[in-house]
């Protein structure tokens, strides 16, 4: 599994569903550069069991994330038409109706591959094309990307293990705290707690770049 922390998030342009109903082409995270932090998360499949609980959980906290200047973007290897259909299905029936943040369609699997969260048997041919010999779906990967497009946090769960949205928010708070105060966050740090001053040259270098 690749570690993307400290590196530029892989760029992409793909179709997506936004506002819970509109299919758009050429969706990219580039639109947030210099403007917002991004939580970009992958989930395995539409019309499943654990996945809708995660998507609804992020929607329930969407206003809180947006108030902190964070965009939420989801992605799976399903088509944009599948995303759209799932968005029309009520929550009581297993759907994700009411989710309004963008859901990217990684139908050619290259986004999941570039973020190294793609599960299945596949390889790249001499032309750089991905070829598969089994079903390809994404693990539950989550990436916190700063305004400069650099990954600051990542976590990858196996299919049965749903993520904790509160932990995602804690990491957002920690990044914002560090960026604003220049203090690092110790174990179990939460918003409102004190940080630690760190004179390590790596911290100084980060602040100089931001």
Rounded-to-integer distance, Cα 137 and Cα 129, Å: 17
Cα three-residue angle 168-158-8, rounded to 5 degrees: 55
Catalytic residue among 9, 14, 51, 74: 51
Per DSSP, the residues of 51-80 read: HHHHHHHHHHTHHHHHHTTEEEEEEESS-H
Query: Can 51 be counted among the known catalytic residues?
Result: yes
- Best CA proximity match to 1, nearest among 130, 79, 117: 117
d(CA 46, CA 87): 10
For residue 162 the two structure tokens come to 């749903």
DSSP letter (8 states) at residue 128: S
| Helix 50-60 and helix 165-181, axial crossing angle in degrees, nearest 10 | 40
Query: Which residues carry out catalysis?
Result: 51
């Amino acid at each position: 599994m690749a570690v993307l922390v400290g590196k530029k998030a892989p760029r992409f342009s793909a179709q997506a569903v936004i506002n819970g109903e509109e299919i758009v082409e050429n969706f990219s995270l580039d639109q947030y550069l210099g403007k917002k932090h991004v939580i970009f998360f992958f989930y395995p499949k539409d019309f499943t069991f654990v996945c809708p609980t995660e998507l609804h959980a992020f929607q329930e906290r969407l206003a809180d994330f947006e108030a902190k200047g964070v965009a939420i973007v989801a992605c799976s290897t399903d088509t944009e038409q599948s995303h759209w259909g799932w968005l029309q299905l009520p929550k009581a029936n297993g759907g994700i109706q009411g989710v309004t943040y963008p859901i990217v369609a990684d139908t050619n699997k290259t986004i999941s591959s570039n973020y190294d969260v793609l599960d299945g048997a596949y390889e790249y041919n001499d032309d750089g094309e991905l070829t598969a010999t089994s079903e390809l779906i994404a693990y539950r990967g989550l990436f916190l990307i700063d305004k400069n497009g650099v990954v600051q946090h990542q976590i990858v769960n196996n299919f049965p293990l749903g993520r904790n949205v509160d932990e995602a928010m804690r990491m957002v708070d920690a990044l914002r705290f560090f960026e604003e105060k220049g203090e690092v966050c110790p174990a179990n740090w939460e918003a409102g707690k004190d940080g630690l001053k760190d004179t390590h040259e790596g911290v100084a270098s980060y602040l100089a770049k931001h």
